[in-house]
Structure 1
Amino acid sequence: MRGNEFAELQAFVCITEQGSFVRAAERLQVSPSALSQTIKGLEARLGVRLFHRTTRRVGMTQAGERLLKRLKPAFAEIESAITDTTELGEQPRGKLRLHTFRVGYQLYLEPLLAAFAETCPEIELDLTLDDHPVDMIESGFDGAIRLGELLEQDMVAIPLGPMLRHCVVASPDYVARYGKPRTPSELHQHRCINWRWPGQIHPYQWEFQRDSGWFRVAVNGPLIVNDLRAMLDAAVNGVGIAFSVEAWATPLIREGRLVTMLEPWCAPFDGFYFCYPRQRHHLAAMRAFIDFLKQHVR
């Protein structure tokens, strides 16, 4: 591939990231007209149109979407190769883009950030806290913290802790006013706080286990949130009953701000892992981060 052809592809990706020719031109430090000519040259070479252009917006054609889907992981790998080459010095350096569920971040990563920054001052962690599982390679992430049941195939996975357990909780005031459900089916008679998994239309159904195996209960109540912390806060404030990871709710339970219920139906499940694509392990920054996790996470 000749240099100008690679520059055309870089310009194409930059436009998709910035959402406009003007912003992309500013990022690439060229004029909008020059950038437009570059894309016209790329489209002429490929024999297809890549963008729908109007006076208000820029949208990709089907050909453009297909090209971007293949280019993003390729460009990420090129960036990783360059980063890996520059990391051959004694001190690991560079940026690690990590995707982490909010609970996993609070339990396993947040307590270690200061120590990691002290141990590896030349490594920059770019963290995305999001409970929506993403395709790491397509999205350009180097690694992720997620539940065992959501691990992708062909990923290296390092357990961060023991199995987890759900718990059903409410404030003492709520229990004094409405009592406790004795079985999961009695939740239908209570005010429950629903949580919607990001990207889903319907709220998450609460999961329980008995001798016959796992089963789900769809609950109803006055509130639906898309943030687990907000659900716990609402429970503390007496809005209703919440369904949480026990390790996250434990401090509030110890303080007496929440009380538990339905304990016999709440069984352990696979916990959090740090996972990453196999080809990312060779990065010096990634090796340093993994070694740090293995040393400090129990």
Structure 2
Amino acid sequence: MRQPNLSYVALFAAVVEAGGFRVAAHRRGLSASSVSDSIRRLEAELGVRLLNRTTRSVTPTEAGARLLERLRPALDEIDAAFNDLDDSTQRPVGTLRLSVPVPTARFVLPRLIPAFLERYPGVSVEVAMDNAHIDIVAAGYDAGVRYEESLAKDMIAVPIGPRRQRFVAAASPGYLQTHGTPAHPSDLLGHRLIGHRFETGKLGVWEFERAGTTIRVPPQGPLLSSSHDLEVGAALAGVGIIYTFEEHLRPALDRGELLPVLEDWWQAFEGPYLYYNDRRHMPSPLRAFVDFLKETAAT
């Protein structure tokens, strides 16, 4: 068999990782049609179909999956070789792709990314907001951000952002004047609660803690949403009581537009972590970002 074009092989791996031609093409700076043509040429050279193509998805065939499993270590070594060239000049180049939850994108990264980009002008950062627990490697990301209970054990984790966070409960002065202020989490059963539903469909159950006691309250009320902005806006308008990340509510609390509720019961938890695959060679943009986070945490 004639040796296949290695650039076609790399594009095949990129398409599988991205889950489609359009995303893979965007990441490589190519057109979707040229990527598709390259994969067809590779299939013709090998005499085997590597991808199942439908109008909605692109997935590897059984033969394609086997081939990619064998090729992945070699492709990683090729990437590592080019990263070593970057390291030799001490100037990391390339794109850092991150998958992060919405609170991290809104409240943590704006304090980090500008300084990181200023230090490393050869690096660009691509951030996707996703609250779901995805396979970052399969999805083509260099790293993700999650909380400790959601981290896979085969991942390396580095602290990012505040090390302690809280969920806080609050309501508008008008709501509390009309409906009263709960004195205990059990009192919430008689109140209008603004709930959050994750993209997975799971309902966010409220947890309150004090003196070793934990009380869980499934929020029931007039609004259930997957949008934090909508939930905060509803709380400001007096729709009901909200319980969410302190960062979402702190400005309104400081202005007196929302008042704290059940403050002695607010749940505190450990802050988020940047996590990435445990592999021998890291892309130079990721290595630079990890070093940057460690340096930032030490200052």
Q: TM-score, normalised by structure 1?
A: 0.80
Partner of 1:129: 129
Partner of 2:21: 18
Counterparts of 1:74 and 1:229, CA distance in 2 = 43
Q: Is the Cα contact below 8 Å between 2:101 and 2:146 reproduced in 1?
A: yes
Aligned-partner residue type, residue 34 of structure 2: Q
Q: Is the Cα contact below 8 Å between 2:2 and 2:45 reproduced in 1?
A: no
Partner of 1:204: 204
Aligned-partner residue type, residue 43 of structure 2: I
Counterparts of 1:116 and 1:68, CA distance in 2 = 37
Partner of 1:157: 157
Aligned-partner residue type, residue 84 of structure 1: N
Aligned-partner residue type, residue 119 of structure 1: R
Displacement of 1:284 in angstroms is 2.8
Asked whether 1:293 is paired with 2:293, we answer: yes
Counterparts of 1:256 and 1:75, CA distance in 2 = 58
Aligned length: 289
Displacement of 1:215 in angstroms is 3.5
Displacement of 1:229 in angstroms is 3.3
Counterparts of 2:171 and 2:151, CA distance in 1 = 31
Asked whether 1:250 is paired with 2:250, we answer: yes
Displacement of 1:243 in angstroms is 1.0
| Change in CA separation of 1:76 and 1:232 when aligned onto 2, cut-off 3 Å | farther
Partner of 1:104: 104
Q: TM-score, normalised by structure 2?
A: 0.79
Counterparts of 2:259 and 2:110, CA distance in 1 = 26
- How do residues 1-298 of structure 1 correspond to structure 2 at under 5 angstroms? 3-4=3-4, 6=6, 9-10=9-10, 12=12, 14=15, 17-18=20-21, 27=32, 29=34, 36=40, 38-39=42-43, 42=46, 44-45=47-48, 50-51=51-52, 60=59, 63=62, 66-67=65-66, 70=69, 77=76, 80-81=79-80, 83-87=82-86, 88-160=88-160, 161-199=162-200, 201-211=201-211, 213-279=213-279, 282-297=282-297
| Change in CA separation of 1:70 and 1:184 when aligned onto 2, cut-off 3 Å | farther
SS of equivalent to 1:230: helix
Deviations 1:166-199 (A, max 9, x none): 1111122221221222222222211111111221
Counterparts of 1:7 and 1:283, CA distance in 2 = 19
Q: Is the Cα contact below 8 Å between 2:8 and 2:42 reproduced in 1?
A: yes
Report % sequence identity: 28
Q: Which runs of 5+ in 2 are unaligned?
A: none
Q: Is the Cα contact below 8 Å between 1:8 and 1:38 reproduced in 2?
A: yes
SS of equivalent to 2:251: helix
Counterparts of 2:72 and 2:123, CA distance in 1 = 22
Q: Is the Cα contact below 8 Å between 1:49 and 1:64 reproduced in 2?
A: yes
Q: Which runs of 5+ in 1 are unaligned?
A: none
